[in-house]
Amino acid sequence: MRIREHPILDFERGEQIHFSFNGKSVEAYKGETIAAALHAAGIWHYSESDVLKRPRGLFCAIGHCSSCLMCVNGVPNTRICVTDVVDGMIVESKTGGETE
Amino acid sequence: MIREYDVAIIGGGPAGICAAIAAGKNGLKTLLIEERTFLGGQLIKQTHRFFGSEEEHAGTRGIHIAQELKDQLESLSTIDIMTSTTALGYYEDGMLTALHDEKMIKIKPKSMIIATGAFERFLPFENNDLPGIFGAGAVQTLMNIYGIKPADKVLMIGSGNIGLIVSYQLIQAGVQVIGVVEAAAKIGGYLVHASKLRRLGVPILTRHTIKKAVGSEKVEGAVICQLNENWQEIEGTQRQLDCDAICLAVGLTPLSDILSQMGCETTYIGELGGIVPKRTADLETTKPGVFVAGDLAGIEEASAAMLEGELAGLNAVKYVNADERVNDRIHHLKDELMGLRSGPVGEKIRYGLAQLYEESVITKEKIQKHQHDITQLAFTGVPSQENIDEKLPDVQRRLKPYAVIECFQEIPCNPCVASCPFGAIYIPKDDINCPPVVDFEKCTGCRSCISGCPGLAIFVEQYHPQTGTGTISIPYEQLNRPEKGERVDLFGRNGQPLGSGLVTTVLYGQKQDKTAVITVETDIKLVNQVRSIKPLENGKRVVR
């Protein structure tokens, strides 16, 4: 959910764009990261761990913890918390085995 | 192509930016490298006003400090800024490599400043990998940079400054904070931050810990329990709380990877946050010409990171140009740092630094002991009646408006002094760690000091015995700001409801900078009790 009113901050959002998350179209604003756009859309579950298939989501949001790795435009293991969203981008849950 | 520079700085947070400004101002050809697409590091998420010394940005919100610093950077032609650039390594031939736009670039700097900052610690507990368990920094990024509500109901783990500040910011973003869990017996962060949460009704559960996260796809709750003096679970105290996110604010660890790659010696110092570079009081590592600054050098407040950044920048100037003119400023910065660290809250960092170099050791006489017992405040976030009474003027003086500063802990902070147009607020012994004192002879109750206090700890009160009423002016930084003539619900220091009051004035101008000063009139018995207001609970906002 996006914050419309805030007592201290004003949010200037860029141009509205769309990208694909596992085949589903998701709304985003230019200048935000893929993770931010997914969170705004209520998507917290990005992919599964390789062995135990545990759900994986956002943790550090600064590109250090590897919890948010996804396949972006065919590039596996992309840190979506530090990658800006681009119109038409294809974001997919990693399918396992990519880290090997 | 090899790019040559006098100094290359890795990390565009507060320390790196201040280092670049200091180097660039003194004529060094400077390169600032930042991994992210934007500069500012953690500063750009900080909506609260900074503590510290007034001459070093205290009293200004972190977001505004970030903007000021970025403007200064961009005005200096000696500085090149490369964002979206990841430093890869530094090699024996003095070559630094970095990745930009999927290409490797080579840089040959005469000196370097590493200011890579820190990252958040994790905590072991059952189910701790569920989506919905976020680092405090991640929550701040979502809500304060991108304007996205992180969750609906959050349980905060950790009562250090980050845990307390982020909890408050969550409430500002419209999120419910169901509690702050702290394993230690005492609250870890500044107690003014804890008091801010308590008066908004947030419980701070000291001697508690999280046992597990509940849920299968995402967080649906948390199981917590109480701990005894030996940090062991007390049987029968487990309980499940309903929440959709768990926020971890359990400390930071320096990001020292690149230093190890470079061959700078590091050492483990728990008080400084983990593995830190060995370095001198001038921030030089074991490799001559390689300096460090900010959280990488030891976890501390951003105010210290900015001072260290400038200190590292000036020492790079000295190293490259043998320029001795910067010496005076270097001495001044070291004094300022020592001032920030000289109080009780700086004890850990002093102890940590003493393991690196002797200069950090401050003589015992300089360290103040609490003049007053603040145990209750430290355990609960709510001051004792005795603490409060010491801040009040005599009964006769209460008939005219007066400022009451509920700042009891020795923390390095002084913007209230400059905020008073009548010179009525002073810091005893000229020691920045001493809590401020109000001279009631000079105080006019003008309310200028209320919005400038980083701890939101200043209130103005007045008693009207003839009508049986009184007025209280309080800082207000939440949504749905009440208007003049509106009835509001009143709350006490631990968030307890105290009935209702009438808003008589609202100050909300440039000077208040979004911290409104709201004056309410109520029963005389409540004057020294009311510390928070909310629009009426039943939803109907009545403006007379």
Contacting residues of B for A57, CB less than 8 Å apart: 130-132, 218
In-domain check, residue A11: no
Residues sharing a CB contact under 8 Å with residue B400, sequence separation 6 or more, in sequence order = B445, B462
Residue A38 token pair: 């997914």
Where residue B149 falls among pLDDT bands split at 50, 70, 90? very high
Contacting residues of B for A53, CB less than 8 Å apart: none
Cα B50 from Cα B62, distance rounded (Å):
6
Which B residues in the span 450-509 are in contact with A, Cβ-Cβ below 8 Å?
A: 477-479, 481
CATH of the domain at A70: 3.10.20.440
- Does the pLDDT of residue A100 top 50, yes or no? no
Taking one residue from A and the other from B, the number of pairs with CB-CB distance under 8 angstroms is: 101
pLDDT tens per residue across span B208-253: 999 999 999 999 999 999 999 999 999 999 999 999 999 999 999 9
Cα B21 from Cα B417, distance rounded (Å):
28
Residue B282 token pair: 């001038």
Question: Where is B516: in which H helix or E strand?
Answer: strand B516-523
Contacting residues of A for B481, CB less than 8 Å apart: 7
Residue B271 has φ and ψ, to the nearest 5°, of -65, -25
Q: Which CA distances in Å does B103 have to B99, B117, B257, B535?
A: 6, 24, 21, 56
Angle at the Cα of B11 (from B5 to B16), degrees rounded to 5? 75
Taking the domains of chain B in order of start, what are their residue ranges? 2-117+253-360, 122-250, 380-535
Given this model, what pLDDT does residue A95 score?
61
In-domain check, residue A99: no
Q: Which of B53-62, B68-77, B369-378, B469-478 has the lowest mean pLDDT?
A: B369-378
Residues sharing a CB contact under 8 Å with residue B88, sequence separation 6 or more, in sequence order = B97, B98, B99, B104
Contacting residues of B for A46, CB less than 8 Å apart: 131
Average pLDDT rounded to a whole number, residues B419-446: 94
Given this model, what pLDDT does residue B364 score?
45
CB contact under 8 A, A55 and B146: no
CB contact under 8 A, B148 and A1: yes
Q: B14-25 vs B302-321: helix axis angle to the nearest 10? A: 30
In-domain check, residue A73: yes
- Does the pLDDT of residue B206 top 80, yes or no? yes
CB contact under 8 A, A58 and B477: no
Given this model, what pLDDT does residue B361 score?
55
Contacting residues of A for B36, CB less than 8 Å apart: 63, 82
Q: Which CA distances in Å does B490 have to B276, B398, B454, B537, B539?
A: 47, 21, 22, 10, 15
pLDDT tens per residue across span B323-379: 889 999 999 999 999 888 988 888 899 999 999 987 655 554 454 555 678 999 999
CB contact under 8 A, B255 and A64: yes
Tally of structural domains, chain A: 1
Residue ranges making up the domain that contains A38: 16-92
Which candidate from A5, A32, A64 shows the least CB-CB separation from B146? A32
How many of the other CB atoms lie within 10 Å of CB of B212? Answer: 17
Given this model, what pLDDT does residue B388 score?
95
Average pLDDT rounded to a whole number, residues B475-491: 95
Given this model, what pLDDT does residue B53 score?
82
Which candidate from B47, B120, B141 shows the least CB-CB separation from A9? B47
Domain B2-117+253-360, CATH homologous superfamily name and number = FAD/NAD(P)-binding domain (3.50.50.60)
**CA nearest to A84 within chain B:** B37
Given this model, what pLDDT does residue B544 score?
46
Residue of A49, A60, A68, A73 best to disrupt the B interface, most CBs of B under 10 A: A60
Average pLDDT rounded to a whole number, residues B490-516: 96
Contacting residues of B for A9, CB less than 8 Å apart: 47, 63, 144, 147
In-domain check, residue A21: yes
Given this model, what pLDDT does residue B542 score?
55
Contact B305, B295 (CB under 8 A): yes
CB contact under 8 A, B135 and A59: yes
Which candidate from A32, A55, A58 shows the least CB-CB separation from B138? A58
Which candidate from A39, A57, A62 shows the least CB-CB separation from B148? A39
CB contact under 8 A, A7 and B37: no
Contacting residues of B for A33, CB less than 8 Å apart: 146
Average pLDDT rounded to a whole number, residues B476-490: 95
Q: B327-341 vs B347-354: helix axis angle to the nearest 10? A: 120
| Shortest Cα–Cα distance, B428 to chain A (Å) | 33
Given this model, what pLDDT does residue B501 score?
96
Say whether B122-250 and B2-117+253-360 share the same fold.
yes
pLDDT tens per residue across span B282-317: 999 999 999 999 999 999 989 999 999 999 999 999
Which candidate from B47, B141, B514 shows the least CB-CB separation from A61? B141
Integer Rg of chain B from CA: 24
pLDDT tens per residue across span B395-421: 999 999 999 999 999 999 999 999 999
Residue of B47, B123, B148, B214 best to disrupt the A interface, most CBs of A under 10 A: B148
Q: Please give the CATH architecture assigned to the domain spanning B122-250.
A: 3-Layer(bba) Sandwich (3.50)
Nearest to A25 by CA among A95, A94, A98, A85: A85
Given this model, what pLDDT does residue A48 score?
92
CB contact under 8 A, A60 and B138: yes
**CA nearest to A36 within chain B:** B142
**CA nearest to B248 within chain A:** A59
Average pLDDT of chain B, as a whole number: 93
